[in-house]
Structure 1
């Protein structure tokens, strides 16, 4: 009858859904729950901002604008 296909359908759907949950668990365990890490080479603007913050403030996580960079003295 029609209900004989239910175990095969359950196995098929389980195999299709399992990678999503395995990926979620692996991300939680290995990447501290972050789905996407930074890819520095894809966008150099992020890399330059990262190095500017580290150079100006001494920390990667404290952001400051251009107003914190000292001006060069005028040599007139």
Structure 2
């Protein structure tokens, strides 16, 4: 019958969701947040925040021309 597949489907589902759930818990324990990164510590995040400060839009490309002259 159709319900005979339910135990094996449950095992497959548990095995596939275990890494995601364990990373969620481990990142909370070691990093203090649920993610692997923080918006104030990585180099990419610093560039993201710099672009947002200079141009008002973090997704708009900006280079040296976006920095105002003194």
User: Could you report, residue by residue, the CA deviation over 1:5-42 in whole angstroms, capped at 9, with x for unpaired residues?
Assistant: 111000111111111110110011000125213222x4
Could you tell me which runs of 5 or more consecutive residues in structure 1 were left unpaired when the two chains were aligned.
Answer: 47-76
The structure with more radius of gyration: 1
Alpha-carbon RMSD across the aligned residues, in angstroms, is 2.4
TM-score normalised over the length of structure 2: 0.51
Offset of residue 45 of structure 1: 4.5
- How many residues are matched? 46
Higher helix share: 2
TM-score normalised over the length of structure 1: 0.48
Q: Give the corresponding residue for 1:58.
A: none
Shift >6 Å, 4+ stretches = none
Could you tell me which runs of 5 or more consecutive residues in structure 2 were left unpaired when the two chains were aligned.
Answer: 49-70
Q: Give the corresponding residue for 1:18.
A: 18
Report 1:6-45 matches (<5 A): 6-33=6-33, 35=35, 36-37=37-38, 38-40=41-43, 42=44, 45=47
CA contact (8 A) 2:25 2:34 kept: no
